[in-house]
């Protein structure tokens, strides 16, 4: 890492200039919440004539689409340079900018994996009644190239979603209440993202100890969540007040205990053939395998096939035959008798893996 860019710190300065100080292939995950270039004209008022706290900050103003595109290309080009080939990048935006960002991403060689629709369960109403209620934002998830070997904890996200495959539409409320960073009783940042959103994407696409880079830190949501989830982080922010608030926020954030961060559901069972157990003597030719209810019995042959009612085949084929089904996972179906008790052959497979360093 650069001598001036230290990890686990929020750095003050221009994001493009700071990105240039990072070495190539150094970031495992990038989350970017850039200016949206909302092009707002004048103030917005509610029906009761109270003023709406809209996004009218100076950092969101650009002279033209061309100047915004040049800015976007500059920081994305640096992100492409510093992103590892095993990493990925998330960029969030609205209809004002996300299509322009997507085009530039592709032009620079990024490979888009998904667009995620963040559906706000409590969006701000359209007070003028001239358009549909704008109730979502879009996140683009991309890798450095089409061939990148990126991180995605599919099983974790499925379990996270009550054993249903995680969809690309995420229902998450906007940041509010105690989570909202405030100064003098007022919100400090107009587009602070909810921690729930960052929690999900960091959990899904990085690992403990990875480096999460946020080139537009704001009040530090990505950095705080990264720290909480046991990741390292680097944040860039040009507004001094936001830097101060982000540093204070991160300092107060506590990491979840390391054992709780393990991806246990992602662990796949080793690909060990039943024949390996026979070869090593965990199960001997001539022994019988039993179904859990003791109703079915098959004899183990020297070639690791099973003989059942005159039919020979693999543990899976004979398991299906015995259970009367088209397919059956033999590792789950068959048991071996040890000391008058049935022991799953899958347990013996785990013993084999542990004792043979598999």
Q: What b/e sequence results for 102-117 when a residue is b if at least 16 CB atoms lie within 10 Å of its CB, and e otherwise?
A: bebbeebebeebeebe
Tell me the pTM: 0.72
Domain count, the chain: 2
Higher-confidence residue: 54 or 65?
A: 65
Q: How many residues does the structure list for the chain?
A: 358
240 and 334: one domain? no
> Any idea what the CATH number is for the domain that residue 241 is in?
3.40.50.150
279 and 261: one domain? no
Last residue of a domain, one of 204, 238, 266: 266
Share of the chain above pLDDT 90, in %: 73
151 and 82: one domain? yes
Return phi, psi of residue 133, to 5°: -65, 120
155 and 208: one domain? yes
- The answer to whether 13 and 21 are in contact (CB under 8 A) is no
CA distance 5 to 13: 11
- Residue 268: the pLDDT is 64
Bridge partner list, 187: 182
240 and 302: one domain? no
257 and 291: one domain? no
CA distance 232 to 31: 13
pLDDT in tens, 58-67: 645 667 889 8
- Greatest pairwise CA separation for the chain in angstroms: 87
193 and 342: one domain? no
Matching residue, tokens 């990085």: 206
pLDDT in tens, 32-48: 999 888 765 544 443 44
Range of the domain at 199: 9-266
């Amino acid at each position: 890492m650069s001598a001036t860019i230290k990890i686990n710190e929020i750095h003050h300065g221009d994001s493009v200039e700071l990105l240039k100080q990072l070495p190539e292939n150094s970031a495992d995950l990038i989350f970017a919440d850039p200016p949206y270039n909302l092009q707002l004209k004048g103030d917005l008022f509610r029906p009761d004539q109270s003023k709406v706290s809209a996004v009218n900050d100076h950092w969101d103003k650009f002279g033209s689409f061309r100047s915004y595109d040049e800015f976007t290309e500059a920081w994305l080009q640096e992100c492409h340079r510093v992103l590892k080939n095993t990493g990925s990048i998330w960029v969030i935006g609205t209809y004002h900018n996300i299509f322009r960002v997507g085009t530039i991403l592709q032009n620079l060689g990024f490979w888009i994996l998904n667009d995620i629709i963040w559906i706000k369960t409590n969006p701000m109403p359209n007070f003028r009644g001239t358009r549909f209620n704008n109730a979502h934002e879009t996140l683009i998830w991309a890798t450095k190239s089409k061939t990148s070997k990126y991180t995605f904890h599919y099983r974790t996200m499925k379990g996270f979603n009550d054993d249903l495959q995680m969809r690309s539409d995420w229902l998450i409320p906007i940041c509010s209440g105690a989570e909202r960073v405030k100064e003098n009783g007022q919100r400090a940042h107009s587009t602070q993202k909810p921690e729930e959103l960052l929690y999900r994407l960091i959990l899904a696409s990085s690992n403990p100890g990875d480096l999460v880079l946020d080139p537009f830190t704001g009040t530090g949501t990505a950095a705080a969540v990264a720290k909480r989830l046991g990741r390292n982080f680097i944040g860039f922010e040009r507004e001094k007040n936001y830097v101060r608030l982000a540093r204070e926020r991160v300092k107060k954030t506590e990491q979840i205990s390391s054992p709780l961060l393990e991806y246990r559901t992602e662990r796949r069972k080793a690909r060990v053939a039943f024949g390996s157990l026979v070869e090593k003597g965990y199960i001997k030719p001539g022994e019988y395998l039993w179904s859990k209810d003791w109703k079915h019995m098959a004899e183990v042959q020297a070639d690791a096939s099973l003989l059942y009612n005159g039919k020979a085949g693999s543990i899976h084929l004979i398991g299906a035959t015995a259970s009367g089904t088209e397919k059956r996972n033999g590792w789950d179906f068959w048991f071996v008798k040890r000391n008058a008790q049935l022991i799953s052959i899958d347990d013996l497979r785990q013993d084999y893996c542990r004792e043979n360093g598999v």
